[in-house]
Copies of this chain bind each other. A is one copy, B any other.
């Protein structure tokens, strides 16, 4: 990365990390952070700092930052709030470039002292040219290094992948991380911005834009003090990477809670929506939709139009997908006459052979299934395919053959799947498809909604 990113790199790819307030008391945050670094297999040097301990979890511990013999790139601070300003001064002295400030008790508390303390540390950090993630954050995770600089060791179980998640809420970061684990979706970074003292959403957008490990940027937002700066950061760069935003606070109570939570009002939802759209940022309405859409943008091609072929192994799930397609602005429209002729030849007369196509009656003929998918992929009247197949003993081998064929076919259009089976059946096939750019979803409705979001993204970007 460029010189410009030296400070951010010190936070996300540090050569050494000091944990100021490290502890071996399993009830303390300072011990969770130590476990995160160690169990997360951070490859750099770890320096616990605690005046009362000779070693913590088997690692030599220093009474103060200054006594660490080598340089320190990143300090993770887990001290009480009132000790933070002097610790930042020590960090400057030691040449520390970045800080992850887990400590709470700043702008987010009722007591006015919190706000003035946050002002004080922000001024210090800016004067010293130090970047602070937080305060009031669970931390950050860089799954590619790997570095788990958070108070949650379990974040290290998330698979590494292409989605960078930036969040104003630690709770939402944990939810997103757990959903990623359960759905085996790979993330590049998990970043808890907390109260955003001198690192905000726009900084992360710019940094992740250059980050080779991040393909898609997913954001969770509550309220912003300077929304314009985020919009500008996205618009002026005309981001090459997709940016998705899930913003809460559309309800009156949610908006109010936002002010208390991170010190920022959520603001008028409609204004955000419009501004995001203009800036090329795709908005979504739930945590699950954020993850579903981010996964598709990380893996899949984009459609060039809104015409969808729904190919299903059983009619019902195909119809459910059709309903969502039409509600969400996609068109389940007729095939070209050549394609229709081909499909008519391949399927027995007892099947639904026009779009949506019920391929069920041809399960005994793998070649027919392959032929249908191939001719629909080549149809110039089709921009994308939704493939819905529910496991049954009768279709097992045909689907396995199809999954292999799909990997070999020339694909210039997105294929979004809902291939569903009991655990242990087709897990491998689904993983192979996803690794080849064909994402899978647990229901036909979520597959269809995700494809609609790909098309919405395409239009927002005006490409």
Given A110-B350, A352-B257, A420-B175, check contact A442 B288 (CB 8 Å).
Answer: yes
CB-CB nearest in chain B for A177: B422
Interface residue from B27, B257, B313, B350 paired with A322 (Cβ < 8 Å): B257
Interface residue from B32, B287, B318 paired with A257 (Cβ < 8 Å): B318
- The CA of A172 and the CA of B389, in the complex, are separated in Å by 10
Q: Which residues on the B side are within 8 Å of A361 (C-beta)? A: 104
**Chain A positions near chain B (C-beta within 8 angstroms):** 27, 29, 32, 35, 104-105, 108-111, 114, 138, 151-154, 157, 167-172, 174-175, 178-179, 181-182, 220, 222, 248-254, 256-258, 260-262, 266, 285-288, 310, 312-320, 322-327, 332, 349-350, 352, 354-356, 358, 360-361, 364, 388, 390-394, 418, 420-423, 425, 442-446
Q: Which residues on the B side are within 8 Å of A258 (C-beta)? A: 319
Query: Are B109 and A287 in contact (CB-based, < 8 A)?
Result: no
Query: Are B220 and A316 in contact (CB-based, < 8 A)?
Result: yes
- Report the minimum CB–CB distance from A424 to chain B (whole Å): 10
Query: Are B332 and A251 in contact (CB-based, < 8 A)?
Result: yes
- Report the minimum CB–CB distance from A138 to chain B (whole Å): 7
Query: Are B316 and A171 in contact (CB-based, < 8 A)?
Result: yes
Known contacts A251-B327, A262-B315; 10 further A-B pairs (Cβ under 8 A): A29-B394, A108-B350, A168-B316, A171-B390, A172-B320, A175-B390, A178-B420, A181-B423, A251-B323, A253-B332
* Selected A-B contacts with CB under 8 Å, 27 pairs: A27-B364, A138-B392, A152-B393, A154-B391, A157-B422, A168-B316, A171-B388, A172-B314, A172-B320, A175-B316, A175-B317, A179-B420, A182-B423, A248-B316, A248-B320, A250-B327, A251-B322, A251-B323, A253-B326, A253-B355, A254-B320, A258-B319, A260-B358, A286-B443, A287-B443, A288-B442, A288-B446
- Report the minimum CB–CB distance from A345 to chain B (whole Å): 15
Q: Which residues on the B side are within 8 Å of A266 (C-beta)? A: 319
Interface residue from B111, B314, B320, B425 paired with A350 (Cβ < 8 Å): B111
Q: Which residues on the B side are within 8 Å of A392 (C-beta)? A: 138, 151-152, 170, 174
Query: Are B315 and A109 in contact (CB-based, < 8 A)?
Result: no
